[in-house]
Structure 1
Amino acid sequence: MKLRVSHSGLCAPVLKRGAPIVLAAMLSACVNYAGIHGDQHIARGGQFETDRSLAGEQGHWPASDWVDQFGDAQLKALIDEALKANPTIAQAQARIAEANAFAQSSSADLMPRVNASYSLTREEFSGTAIVPPPARGQWRTENNGLLSASYDLDLWGKNREGWKAAVSEAKASEADAEIVKLTLSTSIARAYNELARLYVLRDIAQHELDRRNQIDTITAGRIATGLDTQVERKIAQANVAASGASLKAIDGNIVTTRYELAALIGAGPDRGLSINPPALGVGDDVHLPDNLPADLVSRRPDIVAARWRVDSLVHEVNKAKAEFYPDINLSVAAGFDAFGFGEFLNAASRTVAVGPAIHLPIFDAGALRAQLKGRYAEFDYAVATYNQTLIGALTAVATRLAQIRSSDAQLVDAHVEQQKAQEADQIAIAQYKAGIANQLTVLNADVTVLNADQAVANLKMNRRDQQIALASALGGGYVDTSTDTLAPPDSAMQAHPPFVAAR
């Protein structure tokens, strides 16, 4: 039985776990991790004041098929296509695979290691060194075959904590992938809604061009009767040209929006040209679900990802604390070592070694303490990031809801304005034909109805855009099904006495 002890770190007290094992004698002036701690505390959804802004309305959380509420099969097909073809999805999947591979690699540290080796060496031994005859001064061929196994007892959980940290990071990567999917889906829906807006504005612009042509025709007739001059005719023709330019500008925007949709899908620009004009409906009524602040933490993938990163740092902190305590590694090796081939497999050539190896940290000029401080700093940063993500999520929901309610209120007045503007425009055109109103009155009425039509269209499309954004702010149908709960640093240590948190 051999005992190998290496001294290369801070000192550790005499520790016990299970049967009494004396690991090392206590040294004077020991250095430990006392006084090193984190300053941040993870926030809970219910601790923020949201009763007035996010009052429960017995609504439902968005389902994964939230886009179906708008009744446009083409939009759903575009999103499905993007989730298969967009390179960002492949990037997210690659990051998940990388994180899972690292977790699997970390889990290997929990298991014994078994290795086999064989070497053949041809060597001339010195004739004057301490080499026994008959090898002295002779060429010899050495055969060495060895089967070895080692196992880190991991008494203080360092390897377990490293594995748990890697698993939590893998779960964070999975939540990141859901963020990518949700962001991509809502980006396509909002770009598609913008395409719908442009088509509605195009219809308004086309109608406006038709009205301007009508005014030009009426003006030509009035010139023949002496009611107008060429000045009014030139103004009417200028207005026709301006309306035509506006229509062409909208057509250009439609093409670029199609290209944007094609890029979001993950296809070339020609794919966007094959998209049919949208046929979006109004969508569902907007009602917030009850108990929103508390439940939102499991409905938003960005909050879940931030939560898992906090959890990963919890284990990283505990792993760094375990570095302050001794490592015990059990090893065994057996094989054959002989000169030549004839006696290689003889019993006399066998070699066997077995025993523990102990790494006892005594002094390292503060390296372990600095490492632990760094881990706590990362933990504090992760907690602050989580808290900020939660605050941002609550604010996003409240903001989207407020914008929807504002759009609803504005639409009431906008519809009244539109109706009255259309009535005034019809009266002005009739009076202009009859010769009892001038061209300026008609143009003013025409501009008023154009602005009213555009305002109603924009409010409707803005409201639907905010509906899409609200679905995203509420998680877009994502649900975190894990039962794991966040634990503060030291919790894993406390599960293995005699460790006590050094706060």
Structure 2
Amino acid sequence: MFSSSPARPLPRRAPFATLLAALCSALLGACSTLPPYQRPTAEVPAHYAGAAPGWAQAAPADAAPRGPWWTAFDDPVLNQLEARIDVSNQTVRKAVAQLQQARSLVDYQRAGFFPTITAGLAQDRSRTSQNVEGKSLAGKTVPDYAAGVSASWEPDLFGRIRDSVNGAHADAQASEADLEGVRLSMSADLAVDYFALRSLDTQKKLLDDSVSAYAAALKLLQQQLNNGAIDASAVAQATTQLEATRTQATDIDVTRAQMQHAIATLTGEPASSFTLPPNGSAAAPPAIPVGLPSQLLERRPDIAAAERRVASANAQIGVAHAAFFPDLVLSASVGLESTFFAPWLSAPSLFWSLGPQLAGTLFDGGKRRASLHGAVAQYDGAVADYRQSVLVAFQQVEDSLSALHALADEAASQQRATTAADLSLRLTTNRFNAGAVSYLDVVTAQTIALTNQRVADQIAARQLESSVLLLRALGGPWQAGAANTPAHG
């Protein structure tokens, strides 16, 4: 800013005072009230309790990118859908915008290291009252033309600006980790929904095949009824079985449509214009290498974000400490000012000012002390958030490992039950054809066989879901292609 009236000449000692102030600034520039930052500690178990015997330990590769972890499932359709997450998912795009905002705040805080320079032009006319005594300009109208440049700079004596930059930089790193966390979460949600839809397609195919078989059996029974070989009860039982199975198949269509709509939203497309063709082939879960618990702290983006927020809170303590020390402001201005426009550019119209200002707060009623206490409390809260994130991460890994371990045993047991139910159906059908049992026994065997097959398909879907959740809990595979490494010996 600049003044509309000429500044008084500075004393001769002003340049020396300015030089002395600049020298003090250079000597004190290394001073900082920032407490030394130490990464908060968290209790890390020696191994995962839920890991099945024989699971291999993954070799850590911190510098390697996580890569598209979903390729471990070897599904081209899933790969195409996952590719749309970064482009079209609105939650990811919001996280990108928040990261850009955080990076802009770093630039904003870093600008405090540099002086602020302003320039301006002004023209005004003023008249002094004629009834004021003792003024030479009483009753006169005086124009004023002025132009000037001013600069001000606050040396970072006690690290306030530097701590603010460090805090903003840590927040930006946390936002970057948040973005990776959102990407991981959205891609995992998409994979879970996709495999749920695939499971519905498998069950739909099973039900459709059953409807076709039941319809053929009903047609045969109706011929036997017409020939007098059986009574009407067998036809009624077959009709009931057929229509009940058709009802189940229709119910699958309703659930599949809802799942397809959810996938459309995750990929950023309107639900009304998005379709996925049915795929009744069974998908198999991949073998997933399990890392050491300590590696989880290095790979999970939410843990990284929580740790960076601890660093940011630590920097805010330094900012609060710096408020107890005085601020030094160096300012200078230069310009031209004249009552008449004609001599405006001449040397006599020149005005300038230069000088330092040191100011500090002597009493504020405890405001700065309260701010410091608040910053310390914020730091303690960030440490608690970090440790809670670690606990939740280990819980999620253990939940997924336990689920996979139990589901493996459950799938093996269910496969034996399904095989036995299929054998029972064949034997019962043969006995009915031989006239040894009623058709009610066949219907019962069909119901048991269909139920067991659907349960087997549902267990397979739960295994895929648990595999996805484990990959998300581990922060993705350790390296591109790591998910294809055999996990069992």
Q: TM-score, normalised by structure 2?
A: 0.84
SS, match of residue 402 in structure 1:
helix
CA distance in structure 1 between the partners assigned to 2:448 and 2:373 by the alignment: 66
Task: Check if 1:414 corresponds to 2:446.
Answer: no
CA distance in structure 2 between the partners assigned to 1:227 and 1:278 by the alignment: 38
CA apart distance, 1:432: 0.8
Distance 1:276 1:442, change over 3 A: closer
CA distance in structure 2 between the partners assigned to 1:280 and 1:72 by the alignment: 11
CA distance in structure 1 between the partners assigned to 2:437 and 2:445 by the alignment: 12
Task: Check if 1:392 corresponds to 2:395.
Answer: no
**Superposition pairs for residues 421-432 of structure 1, below 5 Å?**
421-432=421-432
SS, match of residue 273 in structure 1:
coil
CA distance in structure 2 between the partners assigned to 1:284 and 1:196 by the alignment: 16
User: Deviation string for 1:431-453 (max 9, x for gaps)?
Assistant: 11111012232222112211211
**Superposition pairs for residues 338-353 of structure 1, below 5 Å?**
338-353=338-353
What value does the CA root-mean-square deviation take over the aligned residues?
2.9
Deviates more, 1:341-350 or 1:257-266: 341-350
CA distance in structure 2 between the partners assigned to 1:478 and 1:318 by the alignment: 36
SS, match of residue 262 in structure 1:
helix
Deviates more, 1:217-226 or 1:298-307: 217-226
CA apart distance, 1:477: 4.6
Residue 69 of structure 1: which of 60, 68, 72 is its match? 72
CA apart distance, 1:60: 5.7
CA distance in structure 1 between the partners assigned to 2:304 and 2:261 by the alignment: 33
CA apart distance, 1:319: 0.4
Aligned residue in 2 for 1:88: 91
**Is the contact made by 2:58 and 2:478 (CA closer than 8 Å) also made in structure 1?**
no
CA distance in structure 2 between the partners assigned to 1:67 and 1:20 by the alignment: 53
Percent of residue pairs bearing the same amino acid type: 24
SS, match of residue 298 in structure 1:
helix
CA apart distance, 1:418: 1.0
**Is the contact made by 2:89 and 2:267 (CA closer than 8 Å) also made in structure 1?**
yes
Aligned residue in 2 for 1:58: 57
CA apart distance, 1:293: 2.3
Distance 1:140 1:314, change over 3 A: same
Aligned residue in 1 for 2:177: 175
CA apart distance, 1:318: 1.0
CA distance in structure 2 between the partners assigned to 1:251 and 1:389 by the alignment: 39
**Is the contact made by 1:71 and 1:280 (CA closer than 8 Å) also made in structure 2?**
no
User: Deviation string for 1:153-176 (max 9, x for gaps)?
Assistant: 111111111121111111211111
Deviates more, 1:175-184 or 1:265-274: 265-274
User: Deviation string for 1:378-412 (max 9, x for gaps)?
Assistant: 22222211111111111111111111111111111
Distance 1:114 1:478, change over 3 A: farther
Residue 246 of structure 2: which of 244, 249, 271 is its match? 244
**Is the contact made by 1:45 and 1:294 (CA closer than 8 Å) also made in structure 2?**
no
Aligned residue in 1 for 2:126: 123
Residue 197 of structure 1: which of 196, 199, 211 is its match? 199
Aligned residue in 1 for 2:151: 149
Aligned residue in 1 for 2:4: none
Letter in 1 for 2:288: V
CA apart distance, 1:208: 2.6
Distance 1:131 1:416, change over 3 A: farther
Deviates more, 1:110-119 or 1:264-273: 264-273
Letter in 1 for 2:238: A
Aligned residue in 2 for 1:9: none
Point out where structure 1 has 5 or more consecutive residues left out of the alignment: 4-15, 22-32, 480-503
Letter in 2 for 1:268: P
User: Deviation string for 1:145-202 (max 9, x for gaps)?
Assistant: 2211111111111111112111111121111111221111111111110111001111
Residue 282 of structure 1: which of 273, 281, 284 is its match? 284
Aligned residue in 2 for 1:311: 311
Distance 1:118 1:361, change over 3 A: same
CA distance in structure 2 between the partners assigned to 1:445 and 1:280 by the alignment: 24
Letter in 2 for 1:44: A
Aligned residue in 1 for 2:380: 380
CA apart distance, 1:222: 5.4
Distance 1:437 1:218, change over 3 A: farther
SS, match of residue 145 in structure 1:
strand
Letter in 2 for 1:459: I
User: Deviation string for 1:465-484 (max 9, x for gaps)?
Assistant: 111111111112589xxxxx
CA distance in structure 2 between the partners assigned to 1:242 and 1:281 by the alignment: 27
Aligned residue in 1 for 2:41: 43
CA distance in structure 2 between the partners assigned to 1:284 and 1:277 by the alignment: 19
Distance 1:275 1:319, change over 3 A: farther
CA distance in structure 2 between the partners assigned to 1:89 and 1:304 by the alignment: 18
CA apart distance, 1:42: 2.7
CA apart distance, 1:280: 6.3
SS, match of residue 70 in structure 2:
helix
CA distance in structure 1 between the partners assigned to 2:276 and 2:462 by the alignment: 25
Task: Check if 1:113 corresponds to 2:116.
Answer: yes
Aligned residue in 2 for 1:468: 468
**Is the contact made by 1:227 and 1:435 (CA closer than 8 Å) also made in structure 2?**
no
CA apart distance, 1:275: 4.1
**Is the contact made by 1:70 and 1:280 (CA closer than 8 Å) also made in structure 2?**
no
CA distance in structure 1 between the partners assigned to 2:28 and 2:187 by the alignment: 60
CA distance in structure 1 between the partners assigned to 2:244 and 2:280 by the alignment: 27
CA distance in structure 2 between the partners assigned to 1:243 and 1:232 by the alignment: 17
Distance 1:369 1:49, change over 3 A: farther
Q: TM-score, normalised by structure 1?
A: 0.82
Aligned residue in 1 for 2:323: 323
Aligned residue in 2 for 1:485: none
CA apart distance, 1:231: 2.8
CA apart distance, 1:117: 2.0
CA distance in structure 2 between the partners assigned to 1:88 and 1:278 by the alignment: 31
CA apart distance, 1:294: 1.9
Aligned residue in 1 for 2:484: none
CA apart distance, 1:462: 0.9
Letter in 1 for 2:416: V
User: Deviation string for 1:259-294 (max 9, x for gaps)?
Assistant: 2211111111244324452756424323312xx222
CA distance in structure 2 between the partners assigned to 1:283 and 1:168 by the alignment: 38
**Is the contact made by 1:186 and 1:472 (CA closer than 8 Å) also made in structure 2?**
yes
Aligned residue in 2 for 1:495: none
**Is the contact made by 2:202 and 2:281 (CA closer than 8 Å) also made in structure 1?**
no
Distance 1:186 1:354, change over 3 A: same
CA apart distance, 1:65: 2.1
CA distance in structure 1 between the partners assigned to 2:131 and 2:240 by the alignment: 112
Letter in 2 for 1:107: R
